[in-house]
Structure formats: structure tokens, C-alpha cells
Amino acid sequence: MKIILLCVCVVLVCKLDGQDMPLIHANSGSVDVEEDGIFLKGIWNLSPAVRPDVYGIMRSNKTKRVTFFTDMDSISFMVSASSVYDFIILLNERDSCYTRIMIIDPLPVRSDAEMPETIAFELGEDNFIHLPVSVNGSQPLDFI
């Protein structure tokens, strides 16, 4: 029974691995991207060394159309929050640039309770603002 289950798993993995990714061609390493009608010229640079090179889309409640334009070809996806979109850009007919489009979460906003966004200063007797500062462990400096 274990052997049969193992064989089924191997066949499924091989079948999924054999699926072809979409492929587009490029002669230039610079790629234009359009996100929901906003055209971003030359925003993406191809890098065959990074596998996959991830293009992140900010999370949204709606599906977004994302199109990659090379100097030779283009590819478009309707990107939703729960999916990942993989494709290959063949650079100069020899370098495969594995690219992934996925939704990324924005960085968390820091709470004011953690650390106030203020700069400590003193009002001097001369009615000027003084900033006591120490640089690399030096004696305190007084910036006016």
C-alpha cells in the first residue's frame, strides 16, 4: 500500500513539474510594467541570476491587471490576492529570467505607543533651540 501511494505521489509531482510556464522574449534587460492602467516605464530590470525574481503588487480588495512589456513581447495576468503567477522572460535567446508576480503585504505601521516620533531639544536662555547630540560615542555636541 505504501509503495502504491509513493508511486502516485511521484507521478503527480512529475506531472506538475512538467507543466510549461508562459514564455516571452526580450533583447533588452529593461522591462515596462502596466498595473491597472498605470504605465511604469523601465521599472523592472531582468536578472537571470535571481530565481525567481519577484515583482510585488500591493494588496488590494480587487483583482488587478498586470502587464509586462519587453522590447519584443508582452504578457498579461489578472492578479488576485491568493495566487502566484510564474513566467519566464528569455533574454537574448539564451538567459532564462524566472519571474514571479505576487501580492505583498504593506509594511506594518508603527504604533505611537512603541516610540514617539519626536526629536529631543532644549530651549536655551538665548531663546534658540539647542539639540544635544552625541556622534559615535563622542562628547555631547550642542547644535543650534
Report the distance separating Cα 79 and Cα 67, nearest Å. Answer: 10
The reply to whether 26 falls in a domain is yes
Task: Fill in the amino acid letter for 14.
Answer: C
On whether residue 124 sits in a domain, the answer given is no
Q: Report the alpha-carbon distance of residue 123 to residue 51 in Å, rounded.
A: 55
Interatomic CA distance for residues 91 and 73, integer angstroms? 11
Those residues with Cβ within 8 angstroms of residue 124's Cβ, 6 or more apart along the chain or in another chain: 130, 144
**Whole-structure pTM value:** 0.62
Query: Locate cell 537571470: which residue?
Result: 48
Domain assignment of residue 110, yes or no: no
User: For residue 27, what are the domain limits?
Assistant: 20-104
- Establish if 94 belongs to a structural domain: yes
- 114 lies in a domain? no
Residue 73 lies in a domain: yes
Residue 137 included in any domain = no
Q: Would residue 55 count as lying in a domain?
A: yes
How many domains does the structure of the chain reveal?
1
| pLDDT tens series, the chain, 144 aa | 556 554 444 444 444 454 589 999 999 999 999 999 999 999 999 999 999 999 999 888 889 999 999 999 999 999 988 889 999 999 999 999 999 999 988 777 666 566 666 777 888 888 888 888 877 878 877 777
